[in-house]
Amino acid sequence: MAKQRESRWVKWVVSRIVRFVLWFVTKPEWKGTENVPAQGGVIIAANHLSVTDPLTVAHFLYIGARRWPTFTMKDGVMKIPVVRSVARSTGQIPIKRGSADAVKALGEAEKALVQDGSSVIFYPEGTCTRDPELWPMTAKNGVARLALTTGVPVVPVAHWGEQEILPYGEKKPRLLPPRKRIQFSAGPPVDLSEFRDQPLTATVLDGATRAIMADITALQAGIRGEQPPSEPFDYRKARQQEAEARRAEREEAGNDTVGAEDAGADTDNGKNSTGA
């Protein structure tokens, strides 16, 4: 977003409110803040655990790395009057998915990165992870495309702990003491050298996206002290498999109903033939 549309006063108030709230709820631990450039455009690519992520990621970036957080936000969120006013005054970028406006939003993000030198936060997965163990999922190619188009660095950021505040799918946050341990780790910029100066084909974008997500996953594995899965969870494929399973169940149930009706008809016919 154009810097002239930002309000220093609103940014000051919002940052104080967020810091105050998170101080009571979380116990943050930050590593790798030195990997975030002090100035200039940078893409912050983070995993997505909970709807509380934007607050904790913003806290990490603003207090830990000393950069103002700029998010790409769902248009639905921007329809909330107070949120819309605050978002616009703090330079956030709305995105309408599945529409021509998404292209415009990416243009705004590119402008924020290249012209304004902003630090723009993206969730490459596009939504909260559905992996049963909460590892990062497969991702969309938008972040890779923007990185290769603009040439700005992509700093991978992994975090862990927000699921203890508000797990995905739940509506009531867990705000009571003790304060929740929230761990962050930022790595050095993702090495995308093999993909630069190449045509932006699907193969190139897929490769760059996998490189970004591999770095995020490795950072989260370090935080958790666990081994990540050999293949990331594919949410789209899982949804397709679930839909196929439901379809098969309906078809089987339908066949069972037809079979029962046929059996009933045969029984009736038998009675009629041997009755009266």
* Per-residue pLDDT, 77: 64
Residues 10-58 pLDDT 10s: 777 788 888 888 999 999 999 999 999 999 999 999 999 999 999 999 9
Q: Are 180 and 53 in contact (CB under 8 A)?
A: no
Residues 186-210 pLDDT 10s: 999 999 999 999 999 999 999 999 9
Same domain, 175 and 272: no
* Per-residue pLDDT, 274: 36
Q: How far apart are CA 124 and CA 26, in angstroms?
A: 25
- Model confidence at 108, pLDDT cuts 50, 70, 90, reads confident
Residue 214 pLDDT > 80: yes
Q: Are 150 and 110 in contact (CB under 8 A)?
A: yes
Round to the nearest angstrom and report the end-to-end CA distance of the chain. 87
Find the domain containing 243 and state its range. 234-276
Same domain, 58 and 177: yes
Q: How far apart are CA 184 and CA 276, in angstroms?
A: 83
* Per-residue pLDDT, 99: 54
- Model confidence at 94, pLDDT cuts 50, 70, 90, reads confident
Burial of 121 (C-beta count, 10 Å sphere; 0-12/13-18/19+): buried
Q: Are 123 and 134 in contact (CB under 8 A)?
A: no
Residue 140 pLDDT > 70: yes
| Cβ atoms < 10 Å from Cβ of 200 | 14
**The domain spanning residue 194 has which CATH number?**
3.40.1130.10
Q: Are 29 and 117 in contact (CB under 8 A)?
A: no
| Phi/psi at 133 (5° precision) | -105, 10
Same domain, 148 and 208: yes
Q: How far apart are CA 153 and CA 60, in angstroms?
A: 18
Residue 152 pLDDT > 70: yes
- Model confidence at 228, pLDDT cuts 50, 70, 90, reads very high
Same domain, 213 and 238: no
Residue 5 pLDDT > 80: no
Same domain, 74 and 197: yes
- Model confidence at 167, pLDDT cuts 50, 70, 90, reads very high
Same domain, 195 and 243: no
Residue 261 pLDDT > 60: no
Question: Has residue 31 been placed in a domain?
Answer: yes
| The dihedral sign for the CA sequence 79, 82, 83, 88 | positive
Q: Are 232 and 213 in contact (CB under 8 A)?
A: yes
